[in-house]
Chains A and B, each alone.
Chain A
């Protein structure tokens, strides 16, 4: 495996093959956990670890998995990793785990995880699989953090719960846009990111 290839596997899903903006996977949780930056970052790291390590584990045992029950085996591996992440959060980051509530558990159903296992880890060696998982998790997390940044900034006027919009703006009649806190605006924000990305990368646009 050449160095270039590894680099490609790791960075390709960040931009050119981003799971959210290009493959349009994992949208549901992206809308739910992006009201504030902190939960979005924790979610991003959690998904990155789950995708990375489930890819690694599945790739390690890929030659031993009975084909007929491979989806069940994949689910068991993902579910165990998600439970580990959930336990860790509850023990060391209790407040964030409460904000994420059900969505940590729902990483299991995140299409990105299963998708990468089926599409990549089942046919590739452990190291590239691990990189592929980390890359896809990071691509997902990147969009999450961008969306959360704008939603928290315009929706609550804060970043990481610290006030960033100066008071004099409020005194002059500026108000936080409550719409930004609604899931609908998250979808629109994702849409805008897709638009910007497509106009920067013409290769992504479908030929008519």
Chain B
């Protein structure tokens, strides 16, 4: 080797320790620095995805947003998505478990991941009330556990606060080709039109069943993904556990509607 050899004994313990400390410090500084640099871009992407997901559940998918933007001669940007979001989302509420609206909490910034670890009485529940094409939708953000890691999603209920109008799932690391298929449109379709309450108004939730034949016959059951039973169970638990907490709020709205009538 032509380069100068180091003067130290490369195999001594002291050298190994010093080398490790230097290497780790350099790596730590480089990674911490780049994380700080990239974080704002990443946060922006996450916010944008959150807004598009919420709009998606009420029927405003990205293609539609792009179309609207095109008619105005604009391309779909972060600012534009923010503008549409503000336009269609009439209210962003933060609720407690009694269905009361908390005034000083920003619903959009609630971190569900840390929220679901708390006691249900202490949690804050975000709710988006969206108006699109003259109809009101209640969009509930969800967060839960899949097979390998976290799963999340948004479910839009129609103005009866019962029928699922649209749904969107996301996951961190479900198995590609199996559990990861919860993000596919064909899986979302299995939930549309399903009801979460029975005719007496009792909460039934949704049942995601293996090998369900003719799922369109049932209003509280739907078909699971074969080969991804645990992810499907995760989806079921997530929907049922999350929506349950909004029942007090829904009851309040229904009661106040009766009074108005």
Contact = CB atoms under 8 A, between A and B. Distances in A.
Interface in B1-57: 1, 3, 5-6, 10-11, 15-16, 19-20, 23-24, 27, 30-31, 34-35, 38, 41-42, 45, 49
Interface stretch (A2-10, A85-93, A136-144): A85-93
Interface of A: 32, 63-69, 73, 76-77, 80, 83-84, 87-88, 90-92, 94, 101-102, 181-183
Given A67-B11, A68-B11, A76-B24, A94 B45 contact: yes
B38 A87 contact: yes
B177 interface: yes
A90 B20 contact: no
A80 B30 contact: yes
Given A69-B20, A91-B38, A101 B173 contact: yes
B73 interface: no
A149 B95 CA distance: 49
B6 A64 contact: yes
Contacts of A80: 27, 30-31
B201 interface: no
Contacts of B1: 63
Contacts of B6: 63-64
A84 B16 contact: no
Given A77-B27, A80-B27, 16 more contacts: A32-B176, A64-B10, A66-B10, A67-B10, A68-B16, A76-B27, A80-B31, A84-B31, A87-B42, A91-B38, A91-B41, A91-B45, A94-B42, A101-B172, A102-B173, A182-B177
Contacts of B34: 84, 87
Interface in B157-195: 172-173, 176-177, 180
B38 A90 contact: yes
Interface residues on B, range: 20 to 34
17 contacts: A63-B1, A63-B5, A64-B6, A65-B10, A66-B11, A66-B16, A66-B19, A67-B11, A69-B16, A76-B23, A80-B27, A84-B30, A84-B31, A87-B34, A90-B45, A94-B42, A183-B177
A63 B176 contact: no
Given A88-B38, A90-B38, A83 B31 contact: yes
A183 B15 CA distance: 47
Given A32-B176, A80-B31, A64 B19 contact: yes
Contacts of A94: 42, 45, 49
A32 B173 CA distance: 13
Interface string B93-124: 00000000000000000000000000000000
Contacts of A90: 38, 41-42, 45
A65 B19 contact: yes
A36 to B, nearest CB: 12
A182 B227 CA distance: 14
A63 B45 CA distance: 42
A66 B12 CA distance: 8
A173 B1 CA distance: 66
Nearest to A123: B1
Contacts of B42: 87, 90-91, 94
Contacts of A182: 177
Nearest to B19: A66
Q: Which 5 A-B pairs have the closest CB atoms?
A: A91-B41, A94-B45, A66-B16, A91-B38, A87-B38
Interface string B212-245: 0000000000000000000000000000000000
